[in-house]
Amino acid sequence: MGKIVFHIDVNSAFLSWSAILRLQQGIDTTDLRTIPSAVGGDEEARHGVVLAKSMPAKKYGVTTGEPLAAARRKCPGLIVIRPDFGFYVEQSNRLRQLLAKYTDRIVPFSIDEAWAEFEGFEELQRNPEVFANRLREEIKETLGFTVNIGVSTNRLLSKMAGDFKKPDLVHTLFPEEIPQKLWPLPVGKLLFAGRAAQNKLKSLGIYTIGDLARSDPGMLKAHMKKQGEALWQYAWGREPDDLFGIHTENKGYGNSVTTATDVTEEAYARQILLSLCETVGIRLRADHRKAGAVSVGMRTGNFENSSRQMQLDSATDVTEELYQAACTLLMRMWDGHRPLRLLNVTATRLTEEEYRQYSLFDRVNYEKLEKANRAMDSIRSRFGEDAVMRASFLKSTVSPTGGGLNREKRREQISRKNRPAEEEKGKEKSEDG
């Protein structure tokens, strides 16, 4: 069978991890996962959005990304707690350490998602679904939370398989299963088929993924240019090497975000990069590692992928240094105007050495920045993510540590521009699942 790829996705990650923490600390005697609950903003101030929800809350119609006020109207007894990003990083690292028992080819995609690639694993080759179910059970028993595992021969198909039905399930989507399992689905279920693409495809008489696969790729390219051609390839389960803007050989710490709307403003793109670098920096410091190189990847609205990498003068775990390098790399690839739909930052060439090479012309007090970063990590670990944030995020549409977008504010901004408010549910990365 050759290479087997698992896509591991933590179910309602923030909610699950917060429930575990509160049970450990004795704050709750009832597991939040068993009652209507959500992770979101400040309940007393009655603002913010739902970042993750429990299954009982979902039955009331509570959805990820909606304002908390709307969620409370649907479910008056909804319990809302604030996120604890430091603990989430710990749980993410525990998951990856468990996966590392079985393969060294682990490709992180976000804090609660990763691919595990296997090759030459005889037991897995005989029955990958059985092995995946055993791994799913081990994660549940050892770490205390559930995951969905998608199984296939590449990242695209494994990710789509994992999204079929949740929670706590294993699904396969091998190439020979595509006509039966993938093609009957609405075209909006195809990864990267956003709202505008769906509307265009429907205007061409394409309603299912099967309709798309059976369409003339030349016709699609004529109407939708490169995007139409790319979506046709995805409908057949074919994955280009740079589909997710990340590469297996980049062993390091990374974070990505697929935006719900086009990013066309440089200031907004820089804030997304800062949020990604914040997450990467926290993870580096938590593991006492430093990065000697930074890479940035991007995808435009026309499905054009680009990536750049640069070596740093000295290995670092300082968020500000990672961010400066990331901005430099982005502006080498991007003209500041082409619509962006995906950004990622990865820190590589890892080391545990404390040595730093200083320049006579360098006026930055890196020692002070390092202490400030660690102090912020400590405060967040004790009092939650929102206990401290950078001033640039106070009026931002970007979450300061999660790499995600503040959907409530972003929707207001988009509405003023008479643009679509959001992509079809499921197209943007959320912590729900």
Which residues are known catalytic residues? Answer: 113
E strands present in 271-403: 290-300, 305-316, 340-351
3-class SS at 409?
helix
Burial label for 232, CB within 10 Å (0-12, 13-18, 19+), is buried
- The radius of gyration of the chain's CA atoms, rounded to the nearest angstrom, is 21
Contact 385, 82 (CB under 8 A): yes
Tokens found for residue 287 = 């593991």
CA 375 from chain center: how many Å?
26
CB of 212 within 8 A of CB of 190? yes
Sign of the CA dihedral with 116 first, then 117, 123, and 124 last: positive
The strand ranges marked E within 245-339 are 253-263, 290-300, 305-316
For residue 152, what are the β-bridge partners? Answer: 5
CA 252 to chain centre: 16
Please enumerate in sequence order all residues whose Cβ is within 8 A of that of 163, keeping only pairs 6 or more positions apart, or say none.
Answer: 9, 148, 150, 189, 426, 433
Q: Would you tell me how many other CB atoms lie within 10 Å of the CB of residue 223?
A: 14
Measured CA to CA in angstroms, residue 333 lies from 36, 146, 161, 168, 321 at distances of 45, 39, 32, 40, 19
DSSP assignment string, 2-52: --EEEEEEETTHHHHHHHHHHHHTTS-SS-GGGSSEEE-S-TTTT--B-SE
Cα angle, residue 156 at apex, residues 150 and 157 outer, rounded to 5°: 50
Q: Answer whether 300's CB lies under 8 Å from 338's CB.
A: yes
Please count the residues of the chain: 433
Buried b / exposed e along 235-253 (16+ C-beta atoms within 10 A): bebebeeebbbbbeebbbb
H or E element in which residue 106 lies = strand 106-110
